[in-house]
Amino acid sequence: MTRSLLAVLLGGALGTAARLGIDLALPHDPVGFAGSTLVVNALGCLVLGALSASLLARPALPEWLRAGLGPGLLGGFTTMSAVALLLGQQLQQGLLLPAALQGGLQIGLSLLAVVIGLRLGRRIGPGRADARGTAP
């Protein structure tokens, strides 16, 4: 339990720092289009999908590493709260179309990224299994 907590704390710190780096590289207007948030969430979903299919599903993977990579690193990296805040601000200002577009892009691109990540993870994962669950 202590190892998992420490892994989540360390992973979360690293993920948050990486997110800040992207936010600084791709700044956005607080009520405008949040390009950096879109990039962060889509990239995080892609990586989580790939890790889930190739590494995190392995029973032999230590729980602390699973916790550090998933909820820690990628949980600290991605940011649904920033999306919700942005959409709330847009809606309060009556910016219905930008809010709908931003929300649709966030969810749609993130889902697409997870699907692509899962497929990539299955292709590149060592000892991967085919659709029937047997090793190639």
Predicted confidence (pLDDT) per residue in 115-132, tens digit: 999 999 999 876 554 443
At residue 97, the pLDDT reads 93
Q: Which residue ranges make up the annotated binding site? A: 75, 78
What is the spatial distance between Cα 89 and Cα 53, in angstroms, rounded to a whole number? 36
Mean pLDDT, rounded, for 80-106: 92
Higher local confidence (pLDDT), 78 or 127: 78
Pair of tokens at residue 127: 């000892």
At residue 57, the pLDDT reads 76
3-state secondary structure of 86: helix
Residue 125: φ, ψ to 5° = -65, 135
Higher local confidence (pLDDT), 129 or 15: 15
Is residue 101 predicted with pLDDT exceeding 90? yes
At residue 33, the pLDDT reads 77
Mean pLDDT, rounded, for 4-15: 97
Q: Which residues contact 82 (CB under 8 A, 6 or more apart)?
A: 34, 37
Q: Which residue ranges make up the annotated binding site for Na(+)? A: 75, 78
